[in-house]
Amino acid sequence: MARSPFTSSTRDVPIVSAVPRHIAIIMDGNGRWARKRFLPRVAGHGRGVEALRTTIRGCIERGVSYLTLFAFSSENWRRPADEVSFLMQLFMRSLQKEVDRLHENGIRFRVIGDLSRFDPALVELIRRAEALTAGNERLTLTVAANYGGRWDIMQAINGLLAKFPDRRGDFTEDELSAELALNYGPEPDLFIRTGGEQRISNFLLWQLAYSELYFTDTLWPDFDDAALGHAIQSYQSRERRFGRTSEQLRETEKRVSASSADGVPENHA
Ligand code: IPE
Ligand code: IPE
Ligand code: MG
């Protein structure tokens, strides 16, 4: 059974770097941004795409390796039909327009979520963009579309049961992680939610177990490079203990800096 190559934060202490390796964002507040300007809600979604470009650039410049964005939740089908259809069209148009630029910039593009309800033309576009950019290594950009954390855990369990019909009840964390939609990346170091709400809204439930959470009132279309910088600064001020005490953490840091002065690499765990 293929194990995920990434550390599970509840099983081992991951290596922590100053720049988050993986940032996951709930891009919220587009509708309110538009309403404040007496514009239709969908105008906010259009502006949201611009904020997205700024954030991708900011992540590349800072050396972030994985960026995962919540674009459409499994619950967003409950919205008015014309808004849902606008969002689908926007996804399609943005992808058509941007895919070459993503590729030129060394971005690996992936989509996670249940695509079975999507227009086959959009699914085809997604698959082609994923194939084109599969070999890129600068940044892995994942868009979560018709994604739900509970859907993800259930499809992983069902996947395991289908693969191993004779096994019951003895699956491990690693085996489950390897079946999750985002099995090709580490758990997010930093989770950002714009728009003022302080909730997870069924995003990456499994992987957010030990992520640093950052909530800002800034509405997504206003989330600029400085706002991204503030989120990362806040992340850098956190003490990521993973269950240990502050004293243990300081001891480990001392050991690591002593061994790296000797030129001997040492794992933070
Ligand atoms: C987030 O903005 C974008 C999507 C959910 C697609 P919203 O559309 O939720 O904006 P608010 O929360 O209504 O302001
Ligand atoms: C969460 O935003 C999903 C996305 C940003 C795509 P919502 O605005 O739909 O979340 P809730 O329903 O207010 O929690
Ligand atoms: Mg919202």
Domains of the chain: 22-238 (3.40.1180.10), 245-269 (no CATH)
| pLDDT tens per residue across span 23-55 | 999 999 999 999 999 999 999 999 999 999 999
Contact at 8 Å (CB) between 119 and 91? no
Please count the other Cβ atoms lying within 10 Å of the Cβ belonging to residue 229: 12
Q: 267 pLDDT exceeds 70?
A: no
269 pLDDT more than 50: no
User: How many Å apart are CA 212 and CA 112, to the nearest integer?
Assistant: 22
DSSP state letter for 220:
G
Say which ligand is closest to the CA of 48. 1
Which DSSP string do the residues of 81-118 spell out, in sequence order? HHHHHHHHHHHHHHHHHHHHHHHHTTEEEEEES-GGGS
Residue 2, pLDDT above cutoff 90: no
Mean pLDDT value across residues 150-162? 97
Helix, strand and coil percent figures for the chain, each rounded to 5 = 50, 15, 40
Strand pairing report for 212-215 and 190-193? parallel
Give the residue whose CA is nearest to atom 12 of ligand 2.
201
Paired with 109 in beta bridges are 141
* Residue with CA closest to ligand 2 atom 10: 201
Atom of ligand 2 nearest to the CA of 79: 9
Integer-rounded Cα Rg, in Å, for the chain is 20
* Mean of the per-residue pLDDT values of the chain: 94
Of the chain, the end-to-end C-alpha distance in Å amounts to: 25
Judge contact between 67 and 142, C-beta under 8 A.
yes
Task: Output phi, psi for 95, to 5 deg.
Answer: -65, -45
What pLDDT score does 261 carry? Answer: 77
Alpha-carbon distance of 138 to 159, in angstroms, equals 30
Which residues have C-beta within 8 Å of that of residue 50, sequence separation ≥ 6?
A: 221
Query: 259: pLDDT confidence band, cut at 50, 70 and 90?
Result: confident
CA distances (Å), 227 to each of 171, 194, 221, in order? 41, 10, 11
* CA dist., res. 268 & res. 247, Å (int): 14
Query: What is the 121 CA–ligand 1 centroid distance (Å)?
Result: 24
The residue contributing the CA closest to ligand 2 atom 7 is 28
What pLDDT score does 169 carry? 80
- Percent above pLDDT 70 for the chain: 96
80-103 b/e with 16+ CB inside 10 Å = b?
eeeeeebbbebbbebbeebbeebb
